[in-house]
Chain A
Amino acid sequence: MSENTSDLMLSTAHLTMKFGGLTAVSDLNLEIRKNEIVGLIGPNGAGKTTAFNVITGMYYPTEGKVLFKGRNITGLKPHSITALGIARTFQNIRLFKEMSVLENVLVACHMSINTGIFGATLHLPGYRSRESEARRFSMELLEKVGLVHLAYEKGTSLPYGQQRRLEIVRALATKPKILLLDEPAAGMNPQESRELMDFIRKIRDEFDLTIFLIEHHMQVVMGVCEHMYVLDYGVTIAHGDPASIQKNPKVIEAYLGVD
């Protein structure tokens, strides 16, 4: 563990999130290294999404810290966290419903276009070059994931699987270093899930990413994750490589229940 702390991407220290009397996440200690694909699994209501929301700044943790590349990012606003290089997708797809596929991706480029309202409205030269650069970059991304032929379709009119993909592309357009995927395989059949996992591995390699993903079904992520954390009622009940997780009696108990 101490072999190389410099490639530690994201870590949390004693992260706890309470809502009134309910402890959604308690004492979570994550360690995610560069280029790893790490899974966060657990039954429904285990606190997985809450953990994501705390990491991405949507909630302020009751206790504990979130560290990104050794820097304390606890309490930063979600948009500043995105700017640092943490992008996320949502469990229930949250595309911009009135926008085309391309526009959805372009919104994520707003940050890199970095423009004031007047520069943008008057289409000043600096803005124009960055805007056309953003368009080129977005089209390139869409090309890479095979959505380019749908660029001018409405985002929400795409089939479910492609909407999921579009959400991932949109997150990629913020040029992240680590990508947080909240149940990317939700609602997919085993075949689609497998394809998605291949896709995730592919983008990891292509964009030099670190990936942290939530999954509800253990089997789906077994093949893709190098490392896993298992939550149950907010408590980390196990972590390690997939093989050891599968055999862990506590995990089996959490998933299957025990009389």
Chain B
Amino acid sequence: MKATTGKRPFALTRNRLLTIIALAAFAVLAIIANSFFDAFMLRVFNMCAIYIVLALSLNLLNGFTGLFSLGHAGFMAVGAYVCALLTMTPELKEMNYFLVPIVPWLRNITIPFLPAILIAGLASAFVGFLIGAPVLRLRDDYLAIATLGFGEIIRVLITNAQPITNGAQGLKGLPRYATTFSVGVAAGIVTLFMVLLMRSSYGRAMKAVRDDELAAEAMGINVFRVKVTSFTVSSFLAGVGGALLGHMITTIDPKMFTFMLTFNILLIVVLGGIGSISGSVISAIVVTILMEALRFLDEPMNLIFFKTEGLPGLRMVVFSILLMVMVIYRQRGLMGNKEFSWDMLQGLFVKKGRKEGDHV
């Protein structure tokens, strides 16, 4: 980094200082949140962090490698189930599997959260690799349809593999390992990982594949390998995100991982900007908070002229409208494919200031 941007050390020190201050402020906020927020607000905070992980993993595919994939919920399900089965105690499993007993080789496994979540990610990555190898020969809409299908297949398999997954009953009483600290750290690591990846030669290769596959291939890039790698890494992150989600909600069942979940993440990615890390992060936070803040819309309301009966789903209408407005006025999302920088922020204010001056 020093070698590439070392031309203006003075401006950089200011920007770095601002970055450090922002990170410190965020850390302080997290600590304050942890000790002063009530359970509900903490939960929203945790959801934000988990959605950051998930949005980034989908953005890696859709935004940076140009692969339109809709099977994300499936990989999250794999991660969530693997992690849950690895962390649950034998007694807990006994309680859950009352219809069909659990397979013996899974009954007595209980390992700590950190290795469990890594194994969950790896399992999900492995499934991603298996699916990616054949599916990534397709492009565009066909790829979207195929991944959507595989996502559903995973869900149906989980529903029917009762001795392993407890089928439609799901798993309840997962240990609440996804604390504010652990999800915050996970979101931080994943964000850092994405930033570093996109700054590297491999990230450039991914963007080249997105921009022009033929030209990328002619430049000596093994396009297929880059695609499979991207798909596998994205599945890994989705698996980690799913595991975190499971251990935060403490209950998982196959119905959680339908296409709607993929859609929610896609919404975040599109609103934030396809191909922007900071866009995904900002959008994940905004959308998650709005999802909760707008919850009152689903409940009965007393507007002066008429009363509503409580319209479940009205909340989603707001998001649909938001999405439409975005598509009409800002097709590339909040950040487009740019990244947040202090210079950009400064530019925003300077430009505004000048405009005001012009009016006078």
Residues of A within 8 A of B (CB): 56, 58, 77-79, 82-83, 87-88, 90, 94-99, 103, 106-111, 113, 115-117, 120-123, 127, 131-132, 134-135, 170-171, 173-174
Contact = CB atoms under 8 A, between A and B. Distances in A.
Given A77-B222, A110-B221, A122-B196, 7 more contacts: A56-B218, A58-B217, A82-B218, A96-B207, A110-B219, A131-B200, A134-B201
B353 interface: no
Contacts of B208: 96, 99, 107, 110
Interface string B181-220: 0000000000001001100111111011011101111111
Nearest to B212: A94
B211 A111 contact: no
Most buried by B among A96, A108, A117: A117
B337 A108 contact: no
Given A98-B275, A110-B205, A117-B233, A174 B220 contact: yes
B250 interface: no
A99 B206 CA distance: 12
Of the listed residues B193, B204, B212, B221, the one surrounded by the most CB atoms of chain A closer than 10 A to its CB is B204
A88 B201 CA distance: 21
B221 A121 contact: no
20 contacts: A77-B217, A78-B218, A79-B219, A79-B220, A79-B222, A90-B215, A96-B207, A96-B215, A97-B212, A98-B337, A99-B207, A110-B202, A111-B219, A115-B200, A116-B202, A121-B193, A121-B196, A131-B200, A132-B3, A174-B220
A132 B201 CA distance: 11
Contacts of B89: none
B302 interface: no
Contact of B221 (A94, A111, A171): A111
Contacts of A82: 217-220
Contacts of A123: 196, 200
A141 to B, nearest CB: 14
Contacts of A134: 201
B2 to A, nearest CB: 10
A82 B217 CA distance: 8
Contacts of B222: 77, 79
Nearest to B208: A107
Contact of A98 (B200, B207, B221): B207
A110 B218 contact: no
A127 B201 contact: yes
Nearest to B4: A135
Contacts of A95: 212, 215
A51 to B, nearest CB: 15
Contacts, number: 105
A194 B299 CA distance: 74
A153 B210 CA distance: 19
B229 interface: yes
Contacts of A113: 201
A183 to B, nearest CB: 15
Nearest to B337: A98
B219 A107 contact: yes
A88 B202 CA distance: 22
Nearest to A82: B220
A127 B193 CA distance: 16
Nearest to B217: A78
Interface string B1-42: 001100000000000000000000000000000000000000
A103 B212 CA distance: 14
- Counting from the closest, the 5 A-B pairs by CB-CB distance are A120-B200, A111-B220, A82-B220, A96-B211, A94-B215
Interface in B213-267: 214-223, 229, 233
Given A94-B214, A132-B3, A135-B3, A106 B207 contact: no
A136 to B, nearest CB: 9
Nearest to A84: B220
Nearest to B202: A120
Contacts of B337: 98
Given A95-B215, A99-B208, A117-B233, A131 B201 contact: yes
A106 to B, nearest CB: 6
A96 B220 contact: no
A78 B4 CA distance: 31
Contacts of A99: 204, 207-208, 211
Nearest to A114: B201
A83 B3 CA distance: 28
Given A82-B219, A135-B4, A96 B197 contact: no
A107 B229 contact: no
Contact of A121 (B200, B205, B212, B215): B200
Given A99-B211, A121-B193, A79 B204 contact: no
A115 B201 contact: yes
Contacts of B217: 58, 77-79, 82
Contacts of B219: 79, 82, 107-108, 110-111, 170-171, 173-174
Contacts of B215: 90, 94-96
A82 B220 CA distance: 5
Contacts of A131: 200-201
Contacts of A103: 204
Contact of B223 (A56, A79, A121, A171): A79
Contacts of B200: 115, 120-121, 123, 127, 131
Nearest to A136: B3
A127 B202 CA distance: 11
